[in-house]
Amino acid sequence: MGIPSERQLFIRERALSRFRRYAAIDTRSDPESRRHPSSEGQWDLARILQTELEAMDDLTVELDDHCYLYAHKPSRRAAGPMALTFCAHLDTSPALSGRDVVPVVHRSYAGGTLRYPDNPDLTLSPEDSPELLKYVGEDIVTASGRTLLGADDKAGLAAIMTALEYLQTVDDWPHPELRIVFTPDEEIGEGADHVQLEKLGAVGYTIDGGDLGELEAECFDALKAGIRFHGHNVHPGYAQNRMINAAAIAARFVADLPAHETPEHTAGREGFFHLTAMDGNESQARLELILRDFDADRNRRRAEILESLRETYLKRYPGLDISLTVAEQYRNMKEVLDRHPDVLAMGRQAFEAADVRVIDKAIRGGTDGARFCFMGMPTPNIFAGGLLFHSLKEWIPVVALQKSTEVMLHLCRLWAQKPQADTRFHPSDSRHDDNRG
Ligand SMILES: [Zn+2]
């Protein structure tokens, strides 16, 4: 069952107009906020989406107290009872301004350099983003040069909304029970914090990846370490053999970590130690690190390196006290997805049906899906189409909006054919985590 070309055009135009509308709303999350959601703009967008969902047939819509927007749609012509979730996030990165975003559509990209109307010094070329060369002849959307575009993840929202619209426009497309969720605060690692688990499906897909074709089934294993140094301060004129300078020792401790295992020296499947904060004086000092790897055992070994350094320093500096705490933030979702091979296999079939070549990618970070996996819903990540996100040059080819919508429609059709599809499992433990970084 394919999607006729005139309907593909309908999908493309609808997804683009939705995307432009959603991109204009400032939904930057705020890492300093202690509220949930962290910013008011996310409510504004959630309410707009709520209104649009309520205008569709056959949907039960709920916007809850924490700004999670749920939509439920009963199955149509499905072979068995199974609920499928699509998820995208409402917020955009706080890294850059997201106020008054003006999406600019560059029709039929001819190759070469694109310019931004509100920032004459800023250009976008294949040197910045070699992927551009794949989209010669395609329409490209950028912001106007003063803000991010917010394709991460307004593109995901637009695609899911367009898929729902398609399902109500076309009455012959089978789908299982759908449980859609739009989450707030993904960019600050809190996207899964307040989700209502009972509203999720047996299987989920986040629409939050990058380039058209990306299918992500792996993410980092993530630990966070805090190290406290308690020294001994005396007047510097009389400090000989008495002062234990906590800050100076903390600096040496950092210098003893493997110099090339840092974010700026690693790529692909390599892990790292990343110093995220450091402060102190003679009496007290503090280091904060995050530890990342695709392999959980290798990441645990990083924590052990910290512990053995701690022991060395205790011996080297009598009188110094050092404490180390290590906490888990999130885990590599591969562990869960390996136990549910159907979830990725269906993903691959859906890509093929939508005529999209799969780009397998391991995320050097986390997603809401990684946390959903360990909450009991296997959830890989599908491209939303944006590139260079979190930057002024962020861009998306319009065809990506169309193709991610088509992939979801094929996932609907494929899962609807499954007579038995309750892949839900109960995780052995539930840990509090966040998916920062
Ligand atoms: Zn995202």
Residue 112: pLDDT over 90: yes
Predicted confidence (pLDDT) per residue in 347-371, tens digit: 999 999 999 999 999 999 888 899 9
Q: What is the mean pLDDT of residues 393-407?
A: 98
For residues 285 and 226, the answer to whether their CB atoms sit within 8 Å is: no
Residue 196: pLDDT over 50: yes
Residue 176: pLDDT over 60: yes
For residues 236 and 248, the answer to whether their CB atoms sit within 8 Å is: no
Query: Which residues are catalytically annotated?
Result: 91, 186
Residue 433: pLDDT over 60: no
Task: State the CATH class of domain 221-330.
Answer: alpha beta
Distance from the CA of 281 to the center of ligand 1, in angstroms?
A: 38
The count of other CB atoms within 10 Å of the CB of residue 128 is: 16
Please, where in the chain does CATH 3.40.630.10 lie?
Answer: 5-219+332-416
Which band of pLDDT confidence, cut at 50, 70 and 90, is reported for residue 420?
low
| Whole-number pLDDT of residue 152 | 95
- What is the spatial distance between Cα 361 and Cα 369, in angstroms, rounded to a whole number? 14
Distance from the CA of 208 to the center of ligand 1, in angstroms?
A: 5
| Whole-number pLDDT of residue 421 | 55
Distance from the CA of 153 to the center of ligand 1, in angstroms?
A: 5
- What is the spatial distance between Cα 66 and Cα 159, in angstroms, rounded to a whole number? 23
427-430's contacts with Cβ under 8 Å and 24+ in sequence apart are 427/336, 427/374, 427/375, 427/376, 430/374, 430/375
Q: What is the mean pLDDT of the chain?
A: 94
Characterise 247 by phi-psi region: left (phi > 0), alpha (psi -120 to 50), beta (else).
Answer: alpha
Picking from 150, 200, 58, 193, the residue whose alpha carbon sits closest to that of residue 392 is 150
Predicted confidence (pLDDT) per residue in 219-234, tens digit: 999 999 999 999 999 9
Q: What is the mean pLDDT of residues 399-416?
A: 98
Span of 59-63, 120-124, 189-193, 241-245 with lowest mean pLDDT: 189-193
Interhelix angle 151-169/398-416, rounded to 10 degrees, is 50
Q: Enter the CATH code of domain 5-219+332-416.
A: 3.40.630.10
Please, where in the chain does CATH 3.30.70.360 lie?
Answer: 221-330
Enclosing H/E stretch for 371: helix 368-375
Characterise 390 by phi-psi region: left (phi > 0), alpha (psi -120 to 50), beta (else).
Answer: left
Residue 424: pLDDT over 80: no
Span of 58-62, 153-157, 327-331 with lowest mean pLDDT: 327-331
Residue 104: pLDDT over 50: yes
Q: Count Cβ neighbours within 10 Å for each residue of 130-169 and write b for 16 or more, e otherwise.
A: eebeebeebbbbbbbbbbbbbbbbbbbbbbbbbbbbbbee
The structure's pTM equals 0.89
Span of 46-55, 102-111, 229-238, 411-420 with lowest mean pLDDT: 411-420
Q: What is the mean pLDDT of residues 416-430?
A: 59
Distance from the CA of 348 to the center of ligand 1, in angstroms?
A: 21
